[in-house]
Amino acid sequence: MASYNKVILMGNLTRDPEIGQLPSGTSVCEFSLAVNRRWKDSQGETREEALFIDCTCFGKSGQAIATHLKKGRPIHIEGHLKLDMWEAQDGTKRSKVRVIVEQFRFVDGGREDGTSKENRGAANHTGNGNGGRRKNGKGKRQPVTAGAGGGGGGAAPAEGDPAADGKDIPF
C-alpha cells in the first residue's frame, strides 16, 4: 500500500522558538504555530477555528528560525508528521502528533526587533533581507528555502553585498 506524509502550513509562532542540542551535537529548534481556518456555516455566519501545532526543526535551519523569529511572527513550513508516544508519571499512555520541518520560508520582511525591511539599511541581512527571494545565477529571483538536513536558512544577502555571489553564504 502506498502512503504519503507531507504537511504544508503557514501560521504565526505562539511562543519564542527554543533551541537546544541533541547528544550528537545537532541543533534542534522547537516552536508552536497557530494556524487559523475560516469558513461560512450553513446560516452564512463566518466561523473561525485555530489549531496549535508543535513543530521541530533540526540543524542550521533550526538555528535560523531561533535566531530570526519570535512569538507572533509568521512562517511558512513544509515537513512531515511524526507521532510521539510516552508514558506519563501516572502510568497513562500519551501521544502527540508534531510536524518535523524539512523546509521553511520567512513570510514577512521584518526582523526580530519588529522593524521591517523598509526601515533598515541594505547592509543589514537579518530576516530575509531580500524580500524572501535571492537571485539565481541568471538574475532571476527564486524562493529562499531551508532544508532540514542543514542546508539553507532563509536569510539572503542584499544587492551589492560581497556574499551576494553565493561564496560566503554560511548555509
What mean pLDDT, rounded, does the chain reach?
A: 75
Which pLDDT value is given to residue 110?
55
- 17-34 mean pLDDT: 96
- Provide the 8-state DSSP code for 58: E
CB count within 10 Å of CB 52 equals 10
Query: What pTM was computed for the model?
Result: 0.63
Q: What is the pLDDT of residues 150-164, one digit of tens each?
A: 443 443 333 444 333
Cell numbers describing residue 86: 510516552
- Model confidence at 148: pLDDT above 60: no
Determine the topology of domain 7-165 in CATH. OB fold (Dihydrolipoamide Acetyltransferase, E2P) (2.40.50)
- H or E element at residue 59: helix 59-68
C-beta of residue 144 within 8 angstroms of C-beta of residue 166: no
- Model confidence at 35: pLDDT above 80: yes
Q: What is the pLDDT of residues 67-79, one digit of tens each?
A: 999 999 999 999 9
Which pLDDT value is given to residue 108?
81
Pick from 92, 95, 105: which is nearest to 134 by CA?
Answer: 105
- The residue with greater pLDDT, 129 or 104, is 104
Which pLDDT value is given to residue 165?
41
- Model confidence at 137: pLDDT above 70: no
Single-letter amino acid, residue 103: Q
Pick from 113, 101, 34: which is nearest to 70 by CA?
Answer: 113
- Model confidence at 119: pLDDT above 90: no
d(CA 93, CA 86): 6
Contacts of 42 (CB under 8 A, 6+ apart): none
Pick from 165, 155, 163, 151: which is nearest to 58 by CA?
Answer: 151
